[in-house]
Amino acid sequence: MSVLPPCPNCRSEFTYTDGNLFICPDCAHEWTSTTATAEPEAKVYRDSAGNILQDGDTVTVIKDLKLKGSGGVIKMGTKVKNIRLVDGDHDIDCKIDGFGAMSLKSEFVKKA
C-alpha cells in the first residue's frame, strides 16, 4: 500500500485519492500530485527592454510620467536609484529627488 502525502493546507494525514486528485476530508482541500511537490516560482521583474530587475538597481524613466493628485511630471531620463521590487500593479517602490516616495511600473523604466 502506498503512503499518501499529508494535506498541504492543514497537514492532515487522512488524505485519500479520487482519480488523479488527492482530497483532504478535514478541510476539503483538493490537489494533484504535481502541486503537492512543486515549489512556488519567484516572480521575475523586467524593464521595458527585457532586462531583469533586482532590488537596489538604478533605473531611468523612459517617458514623461504625469503624477496623479498633483500637477507634477517626472521627466524622461530621470534616474531613480535604489529601487525596491514589490508585488502589485506598480512593481517598483522608490524615492525620486524632488518628488518623494512613489510607485512606478516596470514597463516605463530601463535598467541603467
In this predicted model, what pLDDT tens digit does every residue of 81-98 receive, in sequence order? Answer: 999 999 989 999 999 998
Residue carrying C-alpha cell 525620486: 96
Cα separation, 5 vs 24, whole angstroms: 10
Element (H, E) at 29: none
Whether the predicted pLDDT of 35 surpasses 60: no
User: Domains plus CATH for the chain?
Assistant: 1-37 (2.20.25.10), 58-111 (2.30.30.40)
Q: What is the pLDDT of residue 73?
A: 94
Residue 39 reports pLDDT greater than 90: no
Q: Return the sign of the alpha-carbon dihedral for residues 11, 16, 22, 28.
A: negative
Q: What is the pLDDT of residues 42-84, one digit of tens each?
A: 889 999 999 999 999 999 999 999 988 878 899 999 999 999 9
